[in-house]
Amino acid sequence: MRRKTSARLRLSAVLLTTACAAAGLTATGLAPAAAADPAPAPESRQPASPALLDAMKRDLGLTPAAARERLADERQAVTTERAARKAAGAAYAGSWFDAARGRLTVAVTQRSAAADVRKAGADTRMVEHSAAHLDAAKSRIDALKAPKNVASWRVDAKANSVVVDVVAGHRADNDVETFLRKARAAAPVQVGTVANAPSTFAAGTVGGDPYYTGNVRCSIGFSVHGGFVTAGHCGRAGAAVRGWDGSDIGTFQGSSFPDNDYAWVSVGNGWWTVPVVLGWGTIPDQLVRGSAEAPVGSSICRSGSTTKWHCGNLLAKNETVNYSDGTVVHQLTKTSVCAEGGDSGGSFISGDQAQGVTSGGWGNCGSGGETWFQPVNEILQRYGLTLHTA
């Protein structure tokens, strides 16, 4: 942000200096947290902000009371998952949050481990394949060349297999059948269907509150000390970046796409970073207080320069996505949140914990869709960055 920008941006700085004392403010979007290999952040006990509750009502159909209860259950699930995974050891086969019951379920391959997992506070399910086995199997599928109508593949803890999603109407295509045959030789596979092939969410230059590189518009992810993180497909290392007002921000210092989809941009030229996410007048600017990874099944919200705030559910982790232009990105997290062009690079958050930056998806915020994000902690570790926290 620049000192000569509008009153709205000045308000962000004021918010930063006063928010630590503001008992009612909880982050729900862009910002900050831990260091390069972040320790789990303390869990916030502050009440959810009205903006977050409104978004969860609009996108998840939850009353304010139900949303508060779900957020509390999800905070507990994050803590439980860490303890349960340690208790399961080599028998760990993945986990997921059951929103209807407000509890975490952990899959295990050994009955002897189940008792220890239950003592940690999680429900258990006996399965055949461990998480380590399925991750190794998925890596073998990653080495295959995917045709354009194979949308993505991931380890699914509930299914205890690798799920390969195929674009509807193309299941019988010869190249799809060939890929599936090779995948089944490498791993236990189930086949799913998606409505459309995913694509990235960059856009041509239009008005709004974004950043620009060349004629591409994307969204800022999370502030780090010295800059911000965003999506790799938005710009290559060395590319110049302009702010929403057209002035120079800085330069892409590192970028990886495809295979990964992350980047970081240095900030200078009179701009500075603060640990907030802008609400663009739609919601108040919000703070983020950590980056503890939410389990599958948790609610999650996304902030971007095109569609602002939208919420949904965290559907899967470590998914390999085959975008419609033929680029493949690994280790993405899948959500039911909608997005549109220009939202690329924007922030994903669960409760008040930063989760990642928007990579791509399919659909839109009128008819719905799905999106994937690059986990934020991986970006920090890759570049040795420290998130700017409140």
Strands 103-108 and 123-126: parallel
Rg (CA), the chain: 20
Question: Does residue 2 lie within any of the structural domains?
Answer: no
Report residue 136 as tokens. 């190794």
Domain with 184 in it = 91-144+149-196
**183 pLDDT above the threshold of 60:** yes
Report residue 84 as tokens. 């349960």
Backbone angles phi, psi at 368, to 5 degrees: 100, 180
Question: Does residue 27 lie within any of the structural domains?
Answer: no
Angle (CA) 283-287-290 rounded to 5° is 135
Closest residue by Cα to residue 241 from 274, 261, 263, 224: 263
Q: Do 155 and 184 share a structural domain?
A: yes
Identify whether 344 is a catalytic site residue.
Answer: yes
Q: Do 298 and 220 share a structural domain?
A: yes
Q: Do 242 and 348 share a structural domain?
A: yes
Q: Do 184 and 246 share a structural domain?
A: no
Identify whether 129 is a catalytic site residue.
Answer: no
Give dist(CA 385, CA 37) in Å, integer. 9
11 against 221, higher pLDDT: 221
Q: Do 355 and 206 share a structural domain?
A: yes
Report residue 297 as tokens. 């099944």
Question: Does residue 296 lie within any of the structural domains?
Answer: yes
The number of distinct structural domains making up the chain is 2
Question: Does residue 327 lie within any of the structural domains?
Answer: yes
3-state secondary structure 117-133: HHHCCCEEEECCCCHHH
Could you report the per-residue pLDDT of 259-268, keeping only the tens digit for each? 999 999 998 8
Give the residue-averaged pLDDT of 29-33.
Answer: 28
Question: Does residue 303 lie within any of the structural domains?
Answer: yes
Give dist(CA 107, CA 128) in Å, integer. 9
Q: Which of 152, 156, 233, 343 is catalytic?
A: 233
Closest residue by Cα to residue 373 from 200, 182, 173: 200
- Write down the pLDDT at residue 40: 43
> pLDDT band for position 246 (50/70/90)?
confident
Question: Does residue 65 lie within any of the structural domains?
Answer: no
Give dist(CA 66, CA 70) in Å, integer. 6
SS3 content of the chain, % helix, strand, coil (to 5): 25, 35, 40
Q: Which of 49, 219, 256, 344 is catalytic?
A: 344
Q: Do 216 and 135 share a structural domain?
A: no
Q: Which of 73, 116, 209, 261 is catalytic?
A: 261
First-to-last alpha carbon distance for the chain, in angstroms, is 16
Backbone angles phi, psi at 318, to 5 degrees: 50, 45
Give dist(CA 293, CA 284) in Å, integer. 24
Question: Does residue 140 lie within any of the structural domains?
Answer: yes
**Can you give the CATH number for the domain in which 219 is found?**
2.40.10.10
- Write down the pLDDT at residue 34: 33
Q: Do 229 and 180 share a structural domain?
A: no
Q: Do 240 and 97 share a structural domain?
A: no
Identify whether 330 is a catalytic site residue.
Answer: no
Q: Do 231 and 183 share a structural domain?
A: no
Q: Check: CB of residue 94 under 8 Å from CB of residue 101.
A: no
Give dist(CA 376, CA 37) in Å, integer. 11
- Write down the pLDDT at residue 354: 87
**28 pLDDT above the threshold of 60:** no
Could you report the per-residue pLDDT of 67-95, keeping only the tens digit for each? 999 999 999 999 999 999 999 999 999 99
**Can you give the CATH number for the domain in which 168 is found?**
3.30.300.50
Q: Do 206 and 273 share a structural domain?
A: yes
> pLDDT band for position 207 (50/70/90)?
very low
- Write down the pLDDT at residue 42: 44
Give dist(CA 228, CA 274) in Å, integer. 10
Could you report the per-residue pLDDT of 321-378, keeping only the tens digit for each? 999 999 999 999 999 999 999 999 998 988 778 899 999 999 999 999 999 999 999 9
Query: What is the reported pTM?
Result: 0.76
End-of-domain residue from the set 196, 229, 259: 196
Percent with pLDDT over 90 in the chain: 65
Q: Do 262 and 317 share a structural domain?
A: yes
**280 pLDDT above the threshold of 70:** no
Question: Does residue 61 lie within any of the structural domains?
Answer: no
Q: Do 276 and 168 share a structural domain?
A: no
How far is residue 88 from each of residues 143, 171, 295, measured CA to CA in Å?
29, 37, 16
